[in-house]
Amino acid sequence: MIFKYAGIETELEDHDCPHCKKPLEPWLGPPDSGWGVLLVCCNNQCPHYKDSDKDIVNKRSDCTLGCRYAENPENGYKSFNLVAMCF
C-alpha cells in the first residue's frame, strides 16, 4: 500500500490484524513521538481492542483508555499495543 501525507509517500506492506483478520490501516504517529507511519487495527469490534480498557492497571475508573493492535514498519513490523481511547 502507498501512504501519502504532507507530500511524502511511504510504501508499506499489506498486513492484517491477527485478532480480527481486518486490514491494518496506516496511521501517522504524533509529532515528536519518534514514530513515523504505523499500521493500526481500527476495528472497534476487534477482540484485542474490545474491553481492552480492563487490561490497563492503575488507571482511574473514569478513564476510557484501551489498546489497539499495531505494527511499526520501521522496526520490522514488530507488533505492540497502541494506547487509544475506547468507545
- Give 16-57 pLDDT, tens digit per residue: 999 999 999 999 888 888 888 999 999 989 998 877 666 665
What's the domain range around 43? 2-85
Three-point CA angle 53, 38, 40, nearest 5°: 40
Phi, psi of 58 (to 5 degrees): 60, 40
The total number of structural domains in the chain stands at 1
- Give 55-66 pLDDT, tens digit per residue: 665 555 665 667
